[in-house]
Amino acid sequence: MRREVTLRDVAELAGVSSRTVSNVVNGYANVTERTRERVQRAVDELGYRPNVLARNLAQGRSGQIAVVIPYLDTPYFSELLQSVIRAARVSGYNVLIDQTDGDPEHERAFIAHGSRRLLFDGVIFSPLGLDQQALTDRDPSLPLVILGERSSDGSFDHVGIDDVAASRLATEHLIDLGRRRIAAIGDQPYATGEAAQRRTQGFREAHAARGLTPREELIISTPRFNRPDGAQAMNHLLDLAEPPDAVFCYSDLVALGAIRTIVSRGLRVPEDIAVIGYDDIEDGRFSNPTITTISPDKEMIATTAVDRLLLRISSESPPPGLELRAPFKLVERESTTGRVSPR
Amino acid sequence: MRREVTLRDVAELAGVSSRTVSNVVNGYANVTERTRERVQRAVDELGYRPNVLARNLAQGRSGQIAVVIPYLDTPYFSELLQSVIRAARVSGYNVLIDQTDGDPEHERAFIAHGSRRLLFDGVIFSPLGLDQQALTDRDPSLPLVILGERSSDGSFDHVGIDDVAASRLATEHLIDLGRRRIAAIGDQPYATGEAAQRRTQGFREAHAARGLTPREELIISTPRFNRPDGAQAMNHLLDLAEPPDAVFCYSDLVALGAIRTIVSRGLRVPEDIAVIGYDDIEDGRFSNPTITTISPDKEMIATTAVDRLLLRISSESPPPGLELRAPFKLVERESTTGRVSPR
DNA sequence: CTACGCTTTTGCAGCGCTGCAAAACACAGC
DNA sequence: GCTGTGTTTTGCAGCGCTGCAAAAGCGTAG
């Protein structure tokens, strides 16, 4: 592989200093039109391309941000990631993906002191099993924005929707349809399950607001929020003496799994059991039945996260950690309100 | 932000040269146990972490590979990507994602001369609208492995399954179920649609092998392979005077869209229309009905692609471009063979 | 003609690491 | 004690770029 063209080569050809070439290439001010043209010609002639590695080293920054998510093949994350990548690209940043597979150790290692620091200028993190300790121990110089899970302690930003309010809205929707034995699938009653617990809280609040009491045996916890978990939990619910007549699922995937179970056991959605999901992934818009769901504004979450992170990266003194709320709405589809007559 | 600890700092504390520290850190041979220990202690004490940027520059490589895919939120790609990331990590490589949104211009720019070269040591590319010209024009020094689409011209590797054989298998399955008016959704009869055309070819071969003739009006082309495309194409098919009794969809997403249309128009799958998909994404294992599909060995595709790319990166003289075939199989589910009785 | 302020260009050091080749050391054999 | 061989350690240059501060150029005013 032949040597690459360097700044110096261009400088020589153009008869200026390499520093001037650098100025031209980076579009800095205070370069006369004459020089700029001459340099540009030399650049074109030699086919010069800046060496990103060298620039990174000299500037002490990498122009990359890392996005850490549990599972890449979870539609919610891949949809979100897609928007993050677009938003980052607009500002000239590349995105490095890291999958943790939900492994708390891996998550901890990532934000702990150092890690592969310098490979990225900041991190957007969607943790699953991260406890408060890990956040406290983290490298404080690493700009950080957290998605979804935990609330901010002031040293980083947190972007998400109001899980309690959203869950309450979802549950109220089921209640208002006349359902009274409402199950919830996805609780995680342990330290790392904060997000799940907030949804359970909303579930309870909705009951309280309507003067009802949730049945504890209908609140099912699951290790993850995926299809198999939903399917399994639903099987359990259907085996109860008194099965539910509605289910609030903590993700659309869980809802898809649950619906699969319901249908395969010969029952109908929503006639026998109404199902509501969470996330509004594309799957739910084309499934049979389509899924009523809580739809967070993903585009907004992504761009907000990227904007805040880039702000953090470029700030001298770290800005205060904000708690940022993205809007959400309830989207009614067939899994609760029934099928519209075939056209 | 305080200055980071450097090799030199460690060297000073340990009373050795910085080069020796480097040797220890990188685990090079020929360091006495005594020195190694002493250096290690200094490293620990100062909390030294190598500066990846500097290492990259000195070595002239970045330790990153880029994966270029059309859409990140397409389950097939995100599932594949997940495996790619895992495989790359095993060899100490990071993965940089680039979404092209299927934009041929973007795709071309990526492999064309230079681009953000040096930011990655090689590329795994899943092109959509790339023509032969773009491949010919590309930077020949960039190690490249292509997935799915195009066949190799000898200067890069190509990994994929045998699309013709797989499509033929899928179609024969439908024929053998007694279906005679079989539609195909996903043809792309233009330069950049090679992969689609190979599937159409398999579709035709299957008919020929059984002494049948495919009906041309049942071969529908679609711009992409997603749910809306499938739904729309199916609407068109159902509006025909003689609708099909089976559909071969060029992706599971297309199948999901098609099934959605069929069901919402009051017909049954597979009783009225049997549907077969392609890719074996998780959605199809939990949809209603579950989807019969061609299941490529994604794990194998991913690891093969990564292995070949790393080989290419580390080779002095470029290895010959191989045509690598991953295995696939037909997975029969409800969308063709019907529902098993509810348990 | 000189002095001054502003714009443009330059030179140099250095980001932190590794490649290379030479230097230092250790040990065995004569 | 000296030489030769192999192992361990070192020194230096340099990867290609940018930050910084100084130098050069240029136009205007005194």
Please check whether residue B241 touches A, CB under 8 A.
no
Q: What is the pLDDT of residue A116?
A: 60
Of the candidates A141, A282, A343, which has its C-beta nearest B1's C-beta?
A141
Tokens 């059309």 label which residue?
B70
Among the residue ranges A95-99, B129-133, B169-173, the one predicted with the least confidence is: B129-133
Q: What is the pLDDT of residue B258?
A: 97
Check pLDDT > 80 for residue B166.
Answer: yes
Q: What are the strands of the beta sheet with B64-69, ordered from one edge?
A: A323-325, A157-160, A144-147, A122-125, A64-69, A94-99, B94-99, B64-69, B122-125, B144-147, B157-160, B323-325
Spatial separation of the C-alpha atoms in residues A15 and A38, rounded to whole Å: 9
Q: What is the pLDDT of residue B113?
A: 60
Please check whether residue B268 touches A, CB under 8 A.
no
Side chain identity at B277, as an amino acid letter? G
**Local structure of B247: helix, strand or coil:** strand
C5 C1' – A16 CA distance, angstroms? 25
Host H or E run for residue B41 = helix B33-46
Q: Is the dihedral of CA A30, A34, A37, A40 positive or negative?
A: negative
Confirm whether any atom of chain C, the nucleic acid strand, is less than 7 Å from CB of A116.
Answer: no
Check pLDDT > 90 for residue A155.
Answer: no
Positions in chain C where some atom is under 7 Å from a protein CB:
7-12, 14-20
Spatial separation of the C-alpha atoms in residues A230 and A250, rounded to whole Å: 9
Please check whether residue B142 touches A, CB under 8 A.
no
Rg, Å, chain B Cα set? 26
Spatial separation of the C-alpha atoms in residues B246 and B257, rounded to whole Å: 14
Q: How many CA atoms lie within 13 A of A98 on its CB side?
A: 26
Among the residue ranges A51-60, A239-248, B110-119, the one predicted with the least confidence is: B110-119
Q: What is the pLDDT of residue A270?
A: 94
Check pLDDT > 90 for residue A171.
Answer: yes
Residues B39-96 pLDDT 10s: 999 999 998 888 888 998 998 889 899 999 988 889 999 999 999 999 998 888 999 9
CA distance B341 to chain A (A): 8
Report the alpha-carbon angle B105-B111-B113, nearest 5: 100
Spatial separation of the C-alpha atoms in residues A188 and A193, rounded to whole Å: 5
Residues A5-18 pLDDT 10s: 899 999 989 999 99
Contact B49 A117 (CB under 8 A): yes
Tell me the longest C-alpha to C-alpha distance in chain A.
88
Q: Are strands B94-99 and A328-331 parallel, antiparallel or unpaired?
A: unpaired
Contact A94 B116 (CB under 8 A): yes
Q: Which residue has the higher pLDDT, B318 or B237?
A: B237
Q: What is the pLDDT of residue A250?
A: 97
C20 C1' – B31 CA distance, angstroms? 18
Give the bridge partners for B183, in sequence order. B247
Residues A297-314 pLDDT 10s: 999 999 999 999 999 998
Check pLDDT > 60 for residue B173.
Answer: yes
Residue B21 tokens, joined:
């520290």
Spatial separation of the C-alpha atoms in residues B25 and B116, rounded to whole Å: 29
Nearest Cα neighbor of B71 from B121, B158, B129, B138 is B129
Tokens 């689409």 label which residue?
B149
Please check whether residue B277 touches A, CB under 8 A.
no
C24 C1' – B90 CA distance, angstroms? 39
**Local structure of B196: helix, strand or coil:** helix
Q: What CA dihedral angle connects B147, B152, B156 and B158, to 10 degrees?
A: 30
Contact B282 A49 (CB under 8 A): no
Quickly state the pLDDT bin for A133 (edges 50, 70, 90).
confident
Q: Which residue has the higher pLDDT, B331 or B137?
A: B331
Contact B336, B292 (CB under 8 A): yes
Q: What is the pLDDT of residue A134?
A: 76
How does the average pLDDT of chain B come out, rounded?
A: 90
SS3 content of chain A, % helix, strand, coil (to 5): 45, 15, 40
Residue A182 tokens, joined:
């409402």
Residues A173-214 pLDDT 10s: 999 999 999 999 999 998 888 889 999 999 999 999 999 999
Q: What is the pLDDT of residue A115?
A: 53
Give the nucleotide at minimum CA-to-C1' distance from A7.
D16
Q: What is the pLDDT of residue B210?
A: 95
Please check whether residue A262 touches B, CB under 8 A.
no
Residues 117-146 of B with CB under 7 A from strand D: none
Neighbour tally for A28: CB within 10 Å: 10
Residue A40 tokens, joined:
């540009």
Q: What is the pLDDT of residue A328?
A: 97
Q: What is the pLDDT of residue B1?
A: 41
Q: Are strands A328-331 and A292-296 parallel, antiparallel or unpaired?
A: antiparallel
